[in-house]
Amino acid sequence: MTKSKVVFVVGHSNWGKSQTLRALTNDNYRVRRTSISGVEYFVRRMSNDDLPESFIDWMVTVNPERWPNILAALCPDFEASEKQTATVLQVLKDKVYKLFFWVLHKKFGSNEFIKPSEISNLRAFGKVEVIEDEWEAPVRGKKFKDFITSIQ
């Protein structure tokens, strides 16, 4: 049996995570499920830097039998008040989810970058692909879809 998976688009606040997921769902922010190469995914747009409590509560209670495949946004903050990030990722792994991280290394239109320590922390939980290029949302959506297809 194939392990359930959570595929995260990763970046900090206002980094392009939500726009990437929106582009992936044909610019429709209301889409909650999408099919990619015949595999259905539940789409969780709000990340741990948008609504931390809601994100944590949902991720901790998610059931792999109900939601075997999830696409979600994630802020890679593992410090201070965001120590819950590591806890949530470990809970997901314990529930038999395989974790994948598609990291937007650079904030679009900015000189801000994801820290090497944040990438290292993600690697402890699953497969990481770091995106060095800067693309507009429609291209990011297509490239994210390509990544998802490559891990199925």
d(CA 43, CA 5): 12
pLDDT at residue 67 tops 90 = yes
- Beta-sheet pairing, 69-74 with 98-104: unpaired
Q: Which percentage of the chain shows pLDDT scores above 90?
A: 65
Per the confidence metrics, is the pTM higher than 0.75? yes
Contacts 24+ apart (CB under 8 A), 136-141: 136/108, 137/16, 137/19, 137/20, 137/22, 137/23, 138/23, 140/16, 140/19, 140/20, 140/23, 140/104, 141/20, 141/21, 141/22, 141/23, 141/24
Q: Which whole number is the average pLDDT over 78-91?
A: 80
Whether pLDDT at 48 is above 70: yes
Average pLDDT over residues 102-119: 91
Residue range 91-119: mean pLDDT, rounded: 93
Short-list 4, 7, 10, CA closest to 105: 10
* pLDDT score, position 68: 96
- The per-residue pLDDT for 124 is 96
Give Cβ neighbours of residue 63 (< 8 Å, ≥ 6 apart): 95
**Distance set, CA 105 to CA 36, 54, 97, 143 (Å):** 24, 25, 24, 14
Band of the pLDDT at 90, cuts 50, 70, 90? very high
- Please, what is the angle between helix 52-61 and helix 84-94, to 10°? 20
